[in-house]
Structure 1
């Protein structure tokens, strides 16, 4: 029996062995013009295997890249797209730099820190107080997520003072408004009031 395990390894198994055989035959064609026609025919068959990707940008470009890979870059024809170089396929990706900046209060997150820094740069006034209350509201939500036993608004304002290095002045009488569940938009019922059924006998003559 001829098992697939004994056959040549497929470079792109998602296209199957029949497509790979067509590519191998295309590479063996001596005439460049005939080889080009054969390559375009193979591209058409490859595209028919994934009809849901026809409208995706650069789909044709990707097919030509895959054809070059399956031919082991031996096709040597003029293609409508610039093909990748063989060396680039085996290059190791560059190491991604990670942000090792320390977050002072992880349960609040970095976005809250940036918002507090921004609030500290603002001039005193109504807009600054509104932003402080908005930040405090979000901090309260985050703190309740991590600690169901909410320690109180004073804990939030103390954390804001520490995170701003004392730049934010918060009055002692400031309170964070209570958040009610499902507050705000209330969907209206689609059930309209039905009219009472009127019998045919009750109609006036």
Structure 2
């Protein structure tokens, strides 16, 4: 039986530079034995990438926690977005009673809410876009209700909640989440974090913008 010809595997680029740096720190006897030296270098690099990858994964989770986990006040962006959607649903119901459920502005607001509910917290950028669209649709419906002289205390209360949640969401995004996401993404784009990220399957964090 004829054996297939083996492909030659070459190490080039940044990884080779890492091997060289590690090998230069080996004891002289090890450097004189190419096979043993290469084995030690590979072992050292694998160890470094493993530890570095674990740290990178921890950093990724810390950034995502700002979005999804409750802070000391029991709040999170994910929770505030959910409460804003609840306020939108209440407004759609109340304005629908005032304008009629078939009113175009009420129907448009409901469609925007359905689109928001179809998103998930794993994609903050999608949620930002859906939240923006929901805000525009609800404001058109609300203003139409006010202009028709049909606003009620309940509508005003839900509208105030709707706007208040948006202020909290944008403040958290601007002061905490987005800066942390940008810092993490900057780290991930540089060597050797980009190699670690590729090996561990860790990608960028989406900004809420």
TM-score, L = length of structure 1: 0.22
TM-score, L = length of structure 2: 0.21
Q: Which of 1 and 2 has higher RCO (CA within 8 Å, sep 6+)?
A: 2
Structure with larger Rg? 1
- Select the structure that is richer in helix: 2
